[in-house]
Amino acid sequence: MRFNLQYYIFIVLFVILLSLGSFCQADDRARDRATLSGIQSIIVKVHAIEEEWRAELKKVGLSESALQSSIEHQLKKDGIQVIAEEASSRSEFEGILNVRLKFSDPEPAKKQFPTYDKNGTIIEKVDVKKRYVYAIRLNLRQLVSLKRDPSAEAFSITWQAESVGMRRLAFIKDDIKSVVDVFIEAYISENPNSIKK
């Protein structure tokens, strides 16, 4: 009985959180933030969005390629050097900013609106007000070495932020931008002299 009560309390708190819109949290303690110091360039990597969501997300500009371009532009606008993955040297002066999105469909469409092609034929019906449960995870990986064996190197996550919420697809773009802004603020605070404006 105790387990069930805790489970229901968790569900109620989660629903309250979702009803408030979104919630962003970052591992932005001083020691995590300090790991960003000395990184001179960033590679942005948007990880594959689940197949079932690709078409729907593309309609609102949330395709993998559109997201990557948008995030790269946001970083460059704030003076952070961005390089393509193909141009990477995988050195200790580069960081890989990974972006992962997860979605869930908590409610059925309430009111659908038709979308027409050039000939006036209905091609799809969409509910622009439908809300989705989503999670955005942003993390920075970089080359690190083990203290006990400095010759052993690996890429490891040293900083991360995430946001969860329940919103319309069009508004999720704003939350992605906000999570990236958290990274930008942390990066600039540790690398004020490397910003190129």
Query: Over the stretch 85-115, which tens digit does the pLDDT of each residue have?
Result: 887 777 788 999 999 988 876 655 566 656 6
pLDDT of residue 1: 45
Specify the amino acid at residue 12: V
- Average the pLDDT over 162-171 and give the result: 82
Query: Over the stretch 16-47, which tens digit does the pLDDT of each residue have?
Result: 555 545 555 556 667 788 889 999 999 999 98
- Average the pLDDT over 126-130 and give the result: 64
pLDDT of residue 114: 63
pLDDT of residue 55: 79
